[in-house]
Structure 1
Amino acid sequence: MGTTILVGILALVAGVALGFFIARKTMMNYLKKNPPINEQMIRMMMMQMGMTPSQKKINQMMKAMNNQFK
């Protein structure tokens, strides 16, 4: 009786840990393939703020965001 409960608890802990790491890896791969913001979004955001976006500034912002995700 006692070993059955112990095995059940160990299986539950192992399942939660394994599920967490699999979900984390899957989410990281998804974000790498589909970044949450792209150049068009940055360009529109800068224009809404009244700035004239240059390609150099957009590239700097994209590089900063990519470095943040790594």
Structure 2
Amino acid sequence: MNLWLAIVLIIVALAGGVALGFYFARQYMMKYLKENPPINEQMIRVMMAQMGRKPSEKQVRQMMAQMNKLQDK
């Protein structure tokens, strides 16, 4: 009887640890990506210049707005 109780407690503790670890890792990554966005206006300008385009400020802001909109979802 005590063996089954020990096994159940180990499984519950393992599941709780996995759930808490996932939650804290997700929170850390969301905070990291918010502080260090994967793409910024300068990167968009460089990317468009490599494609042979000279982007206007309006185009850069539109692309940033799209990126932020997709990131928020």
Global fold match (TM > 0.5): yes
Q: 2:44 aligns with which of 42, 45, 49?
A: 42
Find the counterpart in structure 2 of residue 6 from structure 1. 8
Matches within 5 A, 1:1-70: 1-70=3-72
How far, CA to CA, are the matches of 1:6 and 1:26 in structure 2? 30
- Displaced runs of 4+ in structure 1, greater than 2 A? none
Q: TM-score, normalised by structure 2?
A: 0.93
* Structure 1: distance between partners of 2:61 and 2:24: 32
AA of the residue aligned to 2:51: M
Using the TM superposition, give the Cα deviation of residue 59 of structure 1 relative to its aligned residue in structure 2, in angstroms.
Answer: 0.3
RMSD: 0.5
Cα deviation 1:28-50 (Å, max 9, x = unaligned): 11101110011111000000101
In 2, Cα distance between the equivalents of 1:57 and 1:69? 18
Query: What TM-score results when the alignment is normalised by the length of structure 1?
Result: 0.97
SS in 1 for 2:12: helix
Residue type of the alignment partner of 1:33: E
